[in-house]
Amino acid sequence: MASIVERVPPSVAGRVLRGLFTLPEPVKRLIAGAPVRRDGQELALDAQLLLLMTRLEGQRLGGSTAEEARRGLARAKVYLPKVPARPVATRNVDADGVPARLYTPKGLADGSPLLVFYHGGGWVIGDLDTHDTVCRYLAVHAEVRVLSVDYRLAPEHPYPAAADDALTAYGYAVARARELGADPSAIAVGGDSAGGNLAAVVGRFAERTPDFALLFYPVTDISVRRRSRELFAAGFYLTDEDMTWFSDHYCPLDRRAEPKASPLLAGDLRGFPATYLVTAGFDPLRDEGEEFARRLAEAGVRVALRRQEDLIHGFANMWSLGGRFREALSEAAGALRTGLYAGPGR
């Protein structure tokens, strides 16, 4: 039976949630409770308040079935419908058999850089719509076109289907960049969580190396569990249990050490594109993302590692709440713009 909260229309619940974030800081602190501190970090008040509301909602990212988990994320996306003020045109694209959506900000000149983006969701949930506002934000604030890729999901299409689709769509973008209105010498890959994993796979295995990589709290190694999986196992949106559920749906145990599943385990990362990699302090995936950044640096790759130490997994999707969420995404958009517009080819 649905809970009382689940019976509330998502649009109504969303208005309540957004209203809470307009309250004065002392009132928000009173609602959220005492500050949360762990591993020498203090959770942002904005994140703490959001976590309180998600607990009331009673949803988790993983579910008893893939269909249930997808319905939960579809409900959550209605909470945060805000888009940038600058209009963004969209059109559907067939990227050599992989569905995709092209975002073009109003007034953006032909020959702009292009970001090929892969949505998060543990390779099981998520789609073009769940990450629509993130793509719009990056398109507007980085002054780029964005090609968002609707790769196949597990368990219907287990590993390596998502990785193969990611490489196919990127290859299409490289071959058809001018048709997409983009500069073929300024093509980035990016993604969040499982999408960050796919972007890293493309950065390592694509025939034509991307010009930049934008990785939000990426999954880089599903073969082992690191310390942050223990520290932030529960209570911070993405849980250790969720990650186990996603990994079990996506990839069999005997293939998890393959670099296309765990790019951190690739023997040679030389030649990987210049990278902005951002982690969240209160995230089970924090340590593997930061270890990947260290491996890139050791391989001679230009990499900027940024830990948003007071935030949680998924903060990019929460930007419309403002505050620290928007600040963090704005910083990433700035890094993308700088990396593409000031890159070697430009």
Which of the residues are catalytic? Answer: 193, 283, 313
Tokens of 12: 């109504």
Kindly report whether the peptide bond that precedes residue 160 is cis, defined as omega within 30 degrees of 0.
yes
**Pairwise CA distance, residues 260 & 228, whole Å:** 22
Which residue blocks in the chain are alpha helix, DSSP H?
A: 4-7, 10-20, 25-32, 45-57, 66-77, 132-142, 161-175, 194-205, 227-231, 240-250, 286-298, 323-341
Q: What is the C-alpha separation between 274 and 236, in angstroms, rounded?
A: 30
- How far does Cα 120 stand from its chain's mean position? 5
Q: Which two tokens stand for residue 72?
A: 């939960």
> Do residues 282 and 233 lie in contact, with contact meaning Cβ atoms separated by under 8 Å?
no
As a residue count, the chain comes to 346
Q: How far apart are CA 249 and CA 125, in angstroms?
A: 11
* φ, ψ (nearest 5 deg) of residue 16: -65, -45
Smallest CA-to-CA distance from 277 within 291, 293, 260 is with 293
Count of CB atoms situated within 10 Å of the CB of 299: 14
Residues 6 or more apart whose Cβ sits within 8 Å of residue 327: none
